[in-house]
Structure 1
Amino acid sequence: MSAIEDPRTAPASSSGSAQTAAKIDLLISLHLHSWPALTLAIQNNWGGPTSNDKGDWFAGAISELFSNGDVIDADDLEEVLIQVMLDEFEVVVDDDSPAEVAASIFKGRQRILQGDYSEVDQMLVRWEEKQKKGPEKLPFKRVEEDDDGQETDWESSLSDEDDIVMDEAPQLVHATGQEKPAPEIDEDGFTKVVGKKKR
């Protein structure tokens, strides 16, 4: 991921609102770049070759939504986080993390608007310390089994020019390797629908 911009090194401004805006931008970037779902999607290029740029764009887009008054509460922001992950990275985030990230951004933003920068400054220090240790690699990778039952990297058989059409975005959870039973065909040639318990 790209470096987080530090407003402490930005040119001095006579306007306190410029510093407040910079701190809010920093807060959003830190929360997004610390979100495991987004980190995982970027590390594995699930958003394509420009995944890293999409991560940076994501933070800027949220700042703009706040500036324009397009998000009024944490629920609105949660919906944006879920939708962008689906649209840009083809990932369905099916845990509570979007709600947690949205709530943290909203609470942190309120503190900054009240002139309290302590939380975002502490987050930046922790982020910088983490970066000195090197980027954290998350232990998940999207894999797919080939005909021999061997696991292969999903990206390995595709070039950057290939378009992929999917009915559903991949889940963030790791697949269990359980095989699907063969479909049952009745005497009229229709596929029978079998409940999970009967499989």
Structure 2
Amino acid sequence: MGSLNGDNRSSFPSTLQKPEAAFHLQEGITLLLSRWHGLQMAVQNQWGGHDSFQKSQQLAADVFSWFFQSKALEIEDLENLLHESMLLSLNTEIEDGSIEEVAEQLMIMYEEYLHGNH
């Protein structure tokens, strides 16, 4: 199934061709991150500066992009993305194991998306 611009994506799962499915995935990522206590503490206390909320939104966008830009999706790479974003953007060191939990939930969410369960 090709697109109008000649881009042939027939090798991708059908959900990758449906904008509403990608929208639901993006919403799910944002919702999951909004429930992450460590991230919300950083935002509420503005540990990343006055634009901490925008930085949390950028993290959600970065995670969404990571799923589609990475060739091999390794949970360790996602954990590193979360850790580095929290540390560098929000000046927050997370050591409670929640990074691993959030990364695992994100990977499950992405797998569900690939199988059309959104």
TM-score interval (norm. to shorter):
0.7 to 0.9
Deviation of residue 16 (structure 1)?
5.4
Q: Deviations over 1:110-131 (max 9, x none)?
A: 11211112xxxxxxxxxxxxxx
| 1:44-193 pair list within 5 angstroms | 44-69=45-70, 72-117=73-118
| Partner Cα distance (2:98, 2:38) in 1 | 8
Secondary structure at the aligned position of 1:66 is classed as helix
Deviation of residue 90 (structure 1)?
1.0
Q: Deviations over 1:56-101 (max 9, x none)?
A: 1110111111121266122111111111100011111011100000
Deviation of residue 51 (structure 1)?
0.6
TM-score normalized with structure 1 length = 0.49
User: In the superposition, relative to structure 1, how do residues 52 and 96 fare at CA in structure 2: closer, same or farther (>3 Å)?
Assistant: same
The count of residues paired between Structure 1 and Structure 2 equals: 103
| Partner Cα distance (1:26, 1:38) in 2 | 17
Deviation of residue 104 (structure 1)?
0.3
- State the structure with bigger RCO (CA 8 A, min sep 6), 1 or 2: 2
Runs of 4+ in 1 over 3 A off after TM superposition: none
* Residue 24, structure 1, aligned to residue 25, structure 2: yes
Larger Rg: 1
Q: Deviations over 1:39-69 (max 9, x none)?
A: 0000000010101111111101111111212
| Greater helix proportion | 2
Q: Deviations over 1:19-58 (max 9, x none)?
A: 1211111111111111000000000000101011111111
| Partner Cα distance (1:97, 1:39) in 2 | 12
What percent of counterpart residues are identical? 28
Amino acid at match of 1:107: I
Corresponding residue of 2:44: 43
Measured on the aligned residues, the alpha-carbon RMSD in Å equals 1.6
